[in-house]
Amino acid sequence: MNVTIQANPIFREPDRSRLRYIVMKGSAGSGKSMDTAQHYLLRLMQDKGRNLVCIRKSDITNRDSTYAELTGAAYRMFGDKADRFWSIKQSPLQLTCRANGNQIIFRGVNDDRQREKLKSITFQRGKLTDVWIEEATEIAQADFEIIDDRLRGELPAGQFYQIRMTFNPVNQNHWIKRVFFDTPDPNVLTHHSTYLDNRFIDAAYHARMERRKEIDPEGYRIYGLGEWGEVGGLILRNWRVEDISQELADYDDIAIGQDFGFNHANAILLLGMKDDNLYVLREVYVFGKETSEIIPLAIEAGIPKNRLMWCDSAEPDRIKSWRTAGFMARPVRKEHTTEKKYQAAQIDWLKGIIRKDLVVPRTIFVHPSCVNTVKELQQWRWKKDEKTGLYLDEPVPFQDDAMAALRYGTEKWRKPPVRYNSTKGGI
């Protein structure tokens, strides 16, 4: 079968390299993950005895990232004949090349149990030869050393070991920069790409990035130009990704936050509260969909109808649609103040600042499946005065839809109780 491959020329060098470490930093939308997925499918089909493990900080996030990229690439390349070339399993996540038995498996390094599973990887045919670490800035250097140590031993003639890392360079103090970019090594190929190098990016994405360049120059440096970012200016630092319980009964209270969107994301977060800590259990994060299309997605995602759903008060018709569908949708009740002060009060609460004389230790735990919430938390930052270099008490209004849903969802816990009448469709 003749296969037509569409690729970006910018990735020719890393795709042809046989060096041990391929370190690929780049902007959002550069196509580095898509190219990596396509590259590994071709490599494993051509070279018998090669096997790949895909790594994320938490193994559960592989399903919506590396696994989705690889299966998507298989169907782009082979269409409805993909199953003829690859056996694709969902439980456990696994791809097997039908021609030679080469396999792709998926692992995490989120805890000791997941790290131990890395040490016992074996394949029926061949050895572990390739590692793809997606969102590599998530993992610690110690985790990388464990992964690197798995690639050892003699290989048949013509074969080689290789680790490929793909990531957005969010922190200029990250160990990856120090180890691979600042320290010359003949075994390392560093690579840089941006969305401007991706010939498959649509015009709407280009326009979105141009807007970001204007309103968030600092964020554009990282997510538009793929340059190393600054640590300063992040709004929330009291959060971490953790495999938290999905059982609603394990929490003191449950609520839902929703930020409406169409051209920008419509974000829904299922939140739990326990012992002053906040838990982000699930997310629905979609573009270009009407409310009638989003409601079934929310039901499928397990967003409950019997918990309060706090929504942006500027969209009463959408709130009514959710109530008609059986959800307990309510508008947030904004204080009689400026939008700036209203957001500041919500952000203070998220940090654990209840009032000026009361601060509680608060951590925001995010389930690893909530990948868009994590991405927004990593880049949600204060505006910066370009003249003075000082940060302003105003968030950058860009790619903050999950953050708005997070702010809205805390309405019940942040404020004293409010009495609502029970008439359907009104408050």
CA 418 to chain centre: 35
Distance of CA 396 to the CA centre of its chain: 19
Please check whether residue 231 lies inside any domain of the structure: no
Q: Above 60 in pLDDT, residue 114?
A: yes
- Shared domain for 160 and 19, answered yes or no, is yes
Element at 406 (helix H, strand E): helix 401-409
My answer on whether 264 and 206 are in the same domain is: no
Angle, helix 401-409 to helix 339-351, in steps of 10 degrees: 70
- The CATH number covering residue 174 comes to 3.40.50.300
CB contact at 8 A, 209 and 196 = no
Check pLDDT > 90 for residue 215. Answer: no
Task: Give me the helices (H) in 160-272, please.
Answer: 175-176, 203-215, 217-223
Would residue 424 count as lying in a domain? no
Q: How confident is residue 118, by pLDDT bands cut at 50, 70 and 90?
A: confident
Question: Do residue 184 and residue 270 come from a single domain?
Answer: no
The answer, yes or no, to whether the previous bond of 417 is cis (omega within 30 of 0) is: no
CATH code of residue 357: 3.30.420.280
Same domain, 187 and 63: yes
In this prediction, residue 78 carries a pLDDT of: 92
Average pLDDT, the chain: 90
In a domain, 229, yes or no: no
Q: Are residues 120 and 15 in the same domain?
A: yes
Please, is 35 exposed, middle or buried when counting C-beta atoms within 10 Å of its C-beta (0-12, 13-18, 19+)?
Answer: buried
Q: Is the pLDDT of residue 421 over 60?
A: no
Residues 147 and 258 in one domain: no
Question: Across the strands, what pairs with 55?
Answer: 107, 133
What's the pLDDT band for 422 if we cut at 50, 70, 90?
very low
Q: Is residue 136 part of a domain?
A: yes
**Length reported for the chain:** 427
Q: State the residue range of the domain holding 291.
A: 239-414
Q: Is the pLDDT of residue 375 over 70?
A: yes
**Confidence band of 1 (pLDDT split at 50, 70, 90):** low
Contact 329, 309 (CB under 8 A): yes
Residue 357 in any domain: the answer is yes
DSSP classification of residue 227? P
Single residue among 215, 231, 263 that ends a domain in this structure: 215
Domain assignment present for residue 227? The answer is no
Highest mean pLDDT among 50-54, 79-83, 224-228 belongs to: 50-54
> Is residue 227 over pLDDT 90?
yes
Please, which residues bridge with residue 256 across strands? 270, 309
pTM over the 0.75 mark: no
Instruction: Give tens-digit pLDDT for 338-351.
Output: 666 778 889 999 99
Domain count, the chain: 2
Q: What is the pLDDT of residues 268-315, one digit of tens each?
A: 999 999 999 999 999 999 989 999 999 999 999 999 999 999 999 999
Same domain, 195 and 272: no
Asked if 181 and 255 sit in the same domain, the reply is: no
Burial profile 277-313: b = 16 or more Cβ within 10 angstroms, e = fewer:
bbbbbbbbbbeeeebeebbeebeeeebeeebbbbbbe
Cα separation, 26 vs 169, whole angstroms: 7
**Same domain, yes or no, for 258 and 179?**
no
Q: Which of these ranges, 33-47, 60-74, 131-145, 380-394, has the smallest mean pLDDT?
A: 380-394
Is residue 369 in a domain? yes
The per-residue DSSP string of 334-346 comes to: --SS-HHHHHHHH
pLDDT score of 418 more than 80? no
Regarding whether 172 and 269 lie in a shared domain, the answer is no
Same domain for 281 and 193: no
Residues 99 and 53 in one domain: yes
Residue 225 lies in a domain: no
The answer for 389, left when phi > 0, alpha when psi is -120 to 50, beta otherwise, is: left
Give the pLDDT of residue 2.
67
Mean pLDDT on 188-193: 98
Structure tokens at 245: 């319980």
Confidence of residue 424 (pLDDT cuts 50, 70, 90): very low
